[in-house]
Chains A and B, each alone.
Chain A
Amino acid sequence: MSILPRFDQVPLPPTSATEYNTVCQFCNVGCGYKVYVWPVGEQGGLKADENAFKVDFTKPQAVLKGQSYTEAMHSTTVGKDGREYNIVIVPATNSPINQGNYSYRGGSNALTMWSLDRGTQDRLTYPLLRVGDQFQAITWDDALALMAGIIKGIRDRDKNDDNIAVKCYDHGGSGAGFEDNYGAGKLFFTALSVKHIAIHNRPAYNSEVWGSRERGVHELNYDYSDARLADTVVLWGANSYETATILYTQHILENIQGSTVAEKKKVFDKDEPAEAGYLIVIDPRKTSSYTVAEAAAKNRVLLLQPNFGTDYILANAIARVVWERGYYDKAYLEARTDMKLFEDYKKKSLKLDVKYDEFMAQAERITGVPKAQIEQAADWIAKPKGNKFKRRTLTIYEKGIIWNMKNYDQVAALVQLAVLTHNIGRPGTGCGRQGGHQEGYVRPPSPTPGSIYNGGPPVNVDKFLTSGKGKFYWVIANDPYLSTPNNQIFRKRIHERTKKLTRAIGESGEPSTTQGRIDAILKALYADPDALFMVVQDIYMTETARDAHLVLPAAGWGEANETSINCNSRLLRLYEKFMDPPGEAKPDWEIFKLVGEEIAKLYRAEKKNDVAAKFEFGKNWKTDEDVFLAGSEEFADNQVSEEDEAKLEAENYKGVTYAFLKQVGQEGIRTPVRLDPKTKKLVGTLRRYTVKFGTADGKFKWYGTDDWEGYPAEVAKYLEGNKAKEYPFWVTTGRVQHLWQSTYHDRQLPERVITHPLPYAEINPEDAKKLNIESGDLIEIFNEEGNAIYMAYVTDAVKPGSIFMVMYHWRGTSNSLTTGYTDPKTTIPWYKGTRANVRKVAGAIPFIKQTASFLQQNKFS
């Protein structure tokens, strides 16, 4: 018996199966996968020459070395030819990134494919139009005519595109990539001039790391091999065991366990000491990235738990220790960095005017991290080895830094510590993002040049919409009803505004023709300025889609060719199409092209041929590769010397074709790609900024960070007077191993829904005891922004007085409680810090108590 369908045999792909190369659809790591497709009814044999794996299954395979092929790696689908196919998706043993290893999420790639045999049958398959309170099927022709008619109607009335608001991804992977991003960019920035556009996970169109980029350091500057070569790896606000699982287990863990010493010896200087690496985890929580390392290599790991929002103060304090102890190379600083600006850094960040003891006492008070730990971290990061050799430290940061308060200063402080210690541009070093998704950005110039120091900050599109502005809202492959901050207000206002339009056009029966509908919608939008038309383009019905007027079905991963880079190595690979999209679903780039062409028709009818031409940007796009090649024209000339890689865009792939990528397969090529001036061949960039930084003069641009000014008003209100008693808990939010870049699929998979039936919140045993809460109990977490009913999860991962809420679960979002604060320098929200209270609602739901596990997730030994 089993509570789920379990299998005790799986069909092997026959030698006749078609084999494809791809990369996992989920996280930043970008593990390589192989796909096999063949008709249902056939299967290969157990002998090596009888199956497409060429593996002998008559005997068990070698542990860790064999080809993993589990129950979760097989599914079936139906092709456009009406035939049923087996799909097998297994980790690629020839990928340098994962080397046959795979995560919980990637191991289930097959289960997420559209199938009539699996929960994923629920994909969107044709356009849906809201008629009153129902979604009804319509044709693409009608859907496109409706989109074009309304967009052009708004432009005609307004003479600009300011009432058109968009929320669209900018990442690669997950069924997106260079092709789809370029399609979006051409429609929104070349044909239209959309100012009110926000990126999938935040309220504006901005970089999350301007604090690094404006110093001359793109955030993707290291290689996965640096995680194997580093003397010390720092994970700062990045729980990589759970959110970059294979980078952590296959590379970082092997390093601290001593398995990579031989590799170090090959690369390090003559006589340079090489030993097992050290790991520093900096996080307010005792994360599994720390406890796994503690179980695997107890004396080589350090945990620093700073107070909320104080990371940049901690980074500056570590830098001050580095300065005091002389762990820096003056010649390097003079040659490679802007020494005039360095004075500003010394004054404002290192505060050399303040005596060391006084400075450190202050840092200890603000951050809550003991001085001894700050000094130990400085030693592990920068103390020379054998007094002669510079230490090699790789710093990987992610949302704990990015979605912290004061985004700009946090990021700047980290990258400056890395440059001060010459920990960028050498083997075993680097300072960059772990990444969330993979990347794949190529677009015409965007409407926002940079932070407040470079023409910014960008517009907060959430606030634009909730304040009643805008008439047309197009949400593409993201779910703001879960993902945007101050979510309760956002949901309420978008619901109200879309409902106003629905009511207005349905007052006396809805027009039955597309033109009639366009006219009625435009009339209603201008009669009531608060009315809003919403389009959702996605692969499933999302939470946001429940208020949409039009829903467009998009193709997902594996249903079109696409290209992306991963985050740890900027490794560009081709993700081959291996199955058809379900029903009438189309790739995003094609939808953008078709909308453009439909608008162009309306301009041609009015003889406005010059305007029409701008909307026909996709007229030569017949295949996905056409879009990929067109996108490459946006990049700078890449025929430059090795040292001038610093001047190239991080994702520059000029000259690369699909044929080239097919040839290199899982080896890929690392961007920025150069056309070598001597050999005239395409070469990748292993690691960046070895010779120059990415600034006009090639020098690193220092920045003096702000003083500690306490918390922003939106959160400070909870720390004073009665409210401090009413909302006694700090709340932080984040992702977990099993719900990471995958929840849109997870809810379709029974094994996921059983293990994570509800969103959960971690609470310390001390607090749980006081509130009579046990794991599994229903609790309400609430503050003045909003409320969320969560499941309690008692664990020492959080300190007493803190709650950790899982983000983006389909049964409730932590963002109902987050404030509307954004960093005034960048418009990046602080998703990871607010205050709240907790009350017990009831004991566990009996069914959940019986079926879901409540064992402690950070306890490995």
Chain B
Amino acid sequence: MQRMLSRRGFLKVMAMTAALFSSWGKAALAAGSKLKPWLAPSLPYKSVKVGNVADLTVNKPVTFNYPDANTPAVLVKLGKPALGGVGPQNDIVAFSGVCTHMGCPIQYQGERFVCRCHYSMFDPAKAGQTYQGLASTWLPQITLTVDKKGDIYATAVNGLIWGRAKNI
């Protein structure tokens, strides 16, 4: 369904997207907004190594815990460029493993995350947006960075993990 863009084309589109969203983001959250203090990342997240680029296989998810030892998260190489993706193909993303609807575990199922409790589905290539189902909040996306050795680090959570008033 989704044709791959060339890397150059992708970067061009990503730059355009970023420019558009930065102005959109401002419109959505007014300059003097009272919501600012809670805007992610607002908390002191630790940087945690979650894998290496060389160890990942397309569509083979790796689970880890973040932002603390009891909280499931999923790292996955999608094989196609993704919003917020890292690595040479911009296709490595990570998300909270907890459904934002009522806290059930989500499963990666070829291209998509599915929650088996009420069948919410999230698109990992599109910032974890709910494209079907009940979850009115997108899946929290975990900010990733990659160092020269190809080690991948989780550094923050964008979005509230279900069942909490603050992520940490």
Question: Which residues of A are interface residues toward B (Cβ below 8 A)?
Answer: 1-12, 40, 46, 51, 57, 60-64, 66, 68-72, 76, 84, 100-108, 116-119, 121, 241, 245, 249, 253, 288, 292, 295-296, 737-738, 750-751, 754-755, 774-775, 794, 846-847, 849-858, 860-861
Contact = CB atoms under 8 A, between A and B. Distances in A.
A738 B129 CA distance: 12
Contacts of A9: 38, 42-43, 160, 165-167
Contacts of A854: 1-2
Interface string B122-155: 0101110111111111101101000000000000
Interface of B: 1-3, 13-14, 16-17, 20-21, 24-25, 27-30, 33-35, 38-43, 70-71, 83-84, 100-104, 109, 111-112, 114, 117-119, 121, 123, 125-127, 129-138, 140-141, 143, 156-167
Contacts of A101: 102, 118, 134
8 contacts: A3-B21, A5-B35, A6-B160, A104-B130, A119-B28, A850-B83, A853-B125, A855-B111
A70 B17 contact: no
A295 B140 CA distance: 25
B117 A64 contact: yes
Contacts of A106: 136
A687 B159 CA distance: 43
Given A2-B84, A8-B41, A64-B102, A102 B129 contact: no
A762 to B, nearest CB: 13
Given A68-B102, A107-B137, A855-B132, 8 more contacts: A6-B40, A8-B166, A46-B166, A100-B102, A119-B28, A288-B119, A853-B125, A861-B114
A107 B120 CA distance: 13
A846 B102 contact: no
Contact of A288 (B14, B28, B132): B132
B140 A860 contact: no
Given A7-B160, A12-B165, A66-B103, A850 B13 contact: yes
A737 B138 contact: no
B138 A751 contact: yes
A854 B121 CA distance: 12
Contacts of B39: 5-7
Nearest to A69: B165
Contact of B38 (A7, A68, A103): A7
Contact of A2 (B158, B161, B163): B158
Nearest to A57: B165
Contacts of B109: 861
A108 B136 contact: yes
Nearest to A245: B134
Contacts of A754: 129
Contacts of B119: 241, 249, 288, 292, 295-296, 860
A116 B162 CA distance: 26
A51 B165 CA distance: 11
A117 B34 CA distance: 7
A40 B37 CA distance: 12
A861 B141 CA distance: 23
Contacts of B100: 70
A296 B116 CA distance: 8
A775 B119 CA distance: 22
B113 to A, nearest CB: 10
Given A2-B127, A57-B165, A846-B13, A7 B40 contact: yes
A5 B17 contact: no
B28 A118 contact: yes
A750 B24 contact: yes
Q: Which 6 A-B pairs have the closest CB atoms?
A: A107-B136, A9-B166, A853-B131, A853-B123, A61-B163, A8-B40
A858 B121 CA distance: 10
Contacts of B28: 4-5, 118-119, 750
Nearest to B45: A8
Contacts of B13: 846-847, 849-850
Residue among A3, A10, A63 having the largest count of chain B Cβ atoms under 10 Å = A3
A66 B131 CA distance: 24
Nearest to B138: A751
Contact of A1 (B43, B143, B167): B143
B25 A105 contact: no
Contact of B159 (A2, A852, A857): A2
A61 B29 contact: no
Contacts of B35: 5, 7, 76, 117
Contacts of A794: 1
A117 B132 CA distance: 27
Given A5-B28, A102-B134, A70 B162 contact: yes
Nearest to A736: B132
A193 to B, nearest CB: 45
A107 B160 CA distance: 14
A62 B163 CA distance: 8
Given A8-B167, A61-B163, A855-B111, A68 B101 contact: yes
Contacts of B112: 855
B112 to A, nearest CB: 5
Contacts of A72: 136-137
A847 B34 CA distance: 30
B14 to A, nearest CB: 7
A69 B38 CA distance: 14
Contact of B16 (A10, A64, A846): A846
A361 B130 CA distance: 45
Given A2-B84, A2-B127, A774 B17 contact: no
B159 A61 contact: no
Contact of B17 (A61, A245, A249, A851): A851
Contacts of A860: 114, 119, 121
Contacts of A775: 1-2
A765 B36 CA distance: 45
B29 to A, nearest CB: 5
B69 to A, nearest CB: 12
Contact of B104 (A63, A850, A855): A63
Contact of B126 (A108, A853, A857): A853
A792 to B, nearest CB: 10
Instruction: Give the residue among A9, A288, A296, A857 with the most B Cβ atoms within 10 A.
Output: A9
B138 A4 contact: yes
A66 B35 CA distance: 24
Nearest to A295: B119
B24 to A, nearest CB: 6
A737 B165 contact: no
A117 B33 contact: yes
Contacts of A105: 136
A116 B17 CA distance: 25
Contacts of B27: 119
Contact of A63 (B16, B103, B166, B167): B103
Residue among A7, A68, A101, A857 with the highest chain B CB neighbour number at 10 A: A7
Contacts of A51: 165
A212 B24 CA distance: 49
Nearest to A858: B132
B132 to A, nearest CB: 4
A51 B117 CA distance: 28
Nearest to B156: A8
Interface centre among A10, A84, A296 (most CB of B within 10 A): A10
B123 A855 contact: yes
